[in-house]
Structure 1
Amino acid sequence: MKTIGYQLTPENAQIHLGMIVLQSDVTIEDEFRRYFADTDLSLLVSRIPFEDEVTEKTLGDMAHYITQSTALFPVAHTFDAVGYACTSGAMQIGSDRIRQLIMKERTCRYVSDPMRAALLAFESLGAKNIGYLAPYSTPVCKTMIEHIESQGFSVPHSASFDEEHDQVVGRISPNTIYQTAIELIVSADGDIDAIFIACTNMKCATVLDRITSETGVTALSSNKVLAWDLARSAGVPLDL
């Protein structure tokens, strides 16, 4: 057999992003492909164990697996940024602790999550009054709304599908999300600056622009704000 030579690509030839995604999530990878379709970057995904039922306990329990999930990325890979892709999990565990758990295993320049990214997006847009649409149970929604308001924002209008099972959440149709968001914005009667559609498993990338153009209210989602925050940290342009 003939032995032939080869060339290696430079290690810094691309932006390298990593994501830790829930075992039950069937949405975020498809939506990130959409958001980064015109961008030359590398996106690697690791999964984290998660029970189907979304409760404050199961969300908090994920803290035990974040470092382990980070360790499953390719050993020699260096990331520009890593995202922990769970909005309610980030709220329950805390963004600072998530960063510590990821950095314990893999040093990278930046760590984000959808909760942190949402707050940064609100601030970037100058949005103070936020409409809130989520799939979660009432206790999880209540805690998240309180967290958003504790950071200096107001959530005067909210709605939830009250669905605890993440496998079901991933099947809620984009049209249902679109119609519900429109109804919430109309009922707010000009009282909100933006609407936040929480949960990375909510399929809404295809309807965000329609919601914004038809109502004049900026529509944001967990996946959109996380993609935006990871991108900007790495110097990649991506509009909200």
Structure 2
Amino acid sequence: MPTELSVGFTGGLADADNDHRGIGVVAPFDFALDRELWRWVPDNVSLYLTRMPFFTTPVTVEMASAVSERSVVRRATMDVLTPEPDVVVYACTSGSFVGGILGEKLLVRTMVDAGAPAACTTSGALIEALELLGVRKLAIATPYVDEITSLLVAYLAENGVRTVASSGLGLLGHIWRVPYQTVVDIVRSVDVPDADALFISCTNLPTYDVIEPLEKALGKPVLTANQVTMWSALRAMGLGGIGAGQSLLNTGEAPAA
């Protein structure tokens, strides 16, 4: 005889479906921190991730330019539109600052023209966060070679932000393998009294668990690439991110609708 199964729900299925939201994430081919992105996201928001095509180039200016090529970004954006995300984010710091302000704006326009209902980039999100926090003097820690770090400094200057200290790890690959202690050490090395805040660049550098202890130890906001990316996407949806002890997520500002 068939057996009847009874399943209890705390709310109706229709309500759950209506409350569900989504973020499309366009990431470089070597992105390895999917799990970290999810940690900032509320339970009713899903991430739809896609990766751009593989390149043999190491992490250099040439690679940053390759992953920001507009036809590549357009194709990747279209790949995440089927589940109907509320916003699409380009989750690569160097790829979104390598072309300066104009290059960043073109990336946003490319995603919107491809069908994204709204779009943002990691570097654009950084400027958005710095403006909200009133930061004009920034210390930066990166995993990059000097040539890429210099382009970040130039991008910040274009946006009216002065870099008062900077240091890079000089890595050409496998950035996701950098341990937390190395991240902490490089951030401490660039913390100078003039810095209003500190920024840890690269979406492939793990940072979630070091933000709160660094802010407590240094007494100033610590921003990271994945943090500002998720914050900006959620802000565009009228939502806030999850992360105790993170100044950016606790500004008291009501998220944009």
TM score, norm. by length of structure 1: 0.87
- Give the letter aligned to residue 207 of structure 1: V
Find the aligned partners of 1:111 and 1:44 in 2 and give their Cα distance. Answer: 14
Judge conservation of contact 1:50–1:58 (CA < 8 Å) in 2: no
Which secondary structure does the structure 2 equivalent of 1:231 belong to?
helix
- Which residue does 1:119 correspond to in 2? 127
Which secondary structure does the structure 2 equivalent of 1:207 belong to?
helix
Q: In the TM superposition, what whole-angstrom CA distance separates every residue of 1:67-96 from its partner, at most 9, and x where no partner exists?
A: 111222253x32211100100001124222
- Which residue does 1:24 correspond to in 2? 30
- Which residue does 1:209 correspond to in 2? 212
Which secondary structure does the structure 2 equivalent of 1:159 belong to?
strand
- Which residue does 1:45 correspond to in 2? 49
Find the aligned partners of 1:121 and 1:58 in 2 and give their Cα distance. Answer: 26
Count of paired positions: 225
Find the aligned partners of 1:71 and 1:23 in 2 and give their Cα distance. Answer: 16
Query: Which residue of the other structure, out of 46, 64, 75, is the alignment partner of 1:68?
Result: 75
Using a 3 Å threshold, how does the CA distance of structure 1 residues 74 and 229 change in structure 2: closer, same or farther? closer
Q: In the TM superposition, what whole-angstrom CA distance separates every residue of 1:151-170 from its partner, at most 9, and x where no partner exists?
A: 111101001001122xx211
- Give the letter aligned to residue 157 of structure 2: E
- Give the letter aligned to residue 65 of structure 1: V
- Which residue does 1:184 correspond to in 2? 190
Find the aligned partners of 1:107 and 1:19 in 2 and give their Cα distance. Answer: 11
Matched, 1:144 2:149: no
Find the aligned partners of 1:229 and 1:61 in 2 and give their Cα distance. Answer: 24
Judge conservation of contact 1:48–1:69 (CA < 8 Å) in 2: yes
Segments of 5+ residues of structure 2 without an aligned counterpart are 1-11, 242-248, 251-257
- Report the identity percentage: 22
Matched, 1:169 2:172: no
Matched, 1:159 2:167: yes
Give the superposition deviation at 1:148: 0.2
- Which residue does 2:111 correspond to in 1? 102
Give the superposition deviation at 1:12: 4.3
Find the aligned partners of 2:14 and 2:54 in 1 and give their Cα distance. Answer: 36
Using a 3 Å threshold, how does the CA distance of structure 1 residues 183 and 56 change in structure 2: closer, same or farther? closer
- Give the letter aligned to residue 66 of structure 2: D
Find the aligned partners of 1:14 and 1:97 in 2 and give their Cα distance. Answer: 29
- Which residue does 2:94 correspond to in 1? 88
- Give the letter aligned to residue 181 of structure 2: N
- Give the letter aligned to residue 77 of structure 2: T
- Which residue does 2:7 correspond to in 1? none
Find the aligned partners of 2:113 and 2:179 in 1 and give their Cα distance. Answer: 38
Q: In the TM superposition, what whole-angstrom CA distance separates every residue of 1:1-29 from its partner, at most 9, and x where no partner exists?
A: xxxxxx985764322211001110112x2
Find the aligned partners of 1:66 and 1:74 in 2 and give their Cα distance. Answer: 13
Which secondary structure does the structure 1 equivalent of 2:207 belong to?
coil
- Give the letter aligned to residue 102 of structure 1: M
Which secondary structure does the structure 2 equivalent of 1:58 belong to?
helix
Find the aligned partners of 1:96 and 1:154 in 2 and give their Cα distance. Answer: 21
- Which residue does 2:6 correspond to in 1? none
- Give the letter aligned to residue 17 of structure 1: I
Give the superposition deviation at 1:150: 1.5
Using a 3 Å threshold, how does the CA distance of structure 1 residues 102 and 8 change in structure 2: closer, same or farther? farther
Find the aligned partners of 2:108 and 2:18 in 1 and give their Cα distance. Answer: 23
Root-mean-square deviation (Å): 1.8
1 or 2 for the larger relative contact order (CA 8 Å, sep ≥6)? 1
Segments of 5+ residues of structure 1 without an aligned counterpart are 1-6
Judge conservation of contact 2:21–2:86 (CA < 8 Å) in 1: yes
Find the aligned partners of 1:83 and 1:204 in 2 and give their Cα distance. Answer: 19
TM score, norm. by length of structure 2: 0.82
